[in-house]
Amino acid sequence: GQNIDQPTEMTATEGAIVQINCTYQTSGFNGLFWYQQHAGEAPTFLSYNVLDGLEEKGRFSSFLSRSKGYSYLLLKELQMKDSASYLCAVADSNYQLIWGAGTKLIIKP
């Protein structure tokens, strides 16, 4: 079967750095997405990785290792507004997205 694993919840301090991991087992791989979802709102796109390596976009970076079936989202200089759920999703061999359950990130002052 297809499976995406992420930690359920993480806590970090304002101004710090946090890494959210995602491991996947899917039938085929056509890229990995990270989305941010604030409580009661829609998911919004953060990043897309299809090749191994690190993609940096401001305070957020995303890493992919296809051989290990592993990705992480790195958030730097955490702000209170970063409190949200972070969703990992993999495009399978049919280009359909398989979604993880999300990681709820709690930022403390």
Interface positions with other proteins (CB under 8 A):
4, 30-31, 33, 41-45, 48, 50, 87, 89, 91, 95-102
Strand partners, 53: 64
Residue closer to other proteins, measured from CB, 45 or 53: 45
- Rounded to whole angstroms, the Cα distance separating 62 from 42 reads 21
Residue whose CB is less far from other proteins, 1 or 58 = 1
Chain position carrying tokens 């930022």:
107
Angle, CA of 4, 86 and 57, to the nearest 5°: 110
Instruction: Give min distance, CB of 50 to other proteins, in A.
Output: 7
Residue whose CB is less far from other proteins, 80 or 95? 95
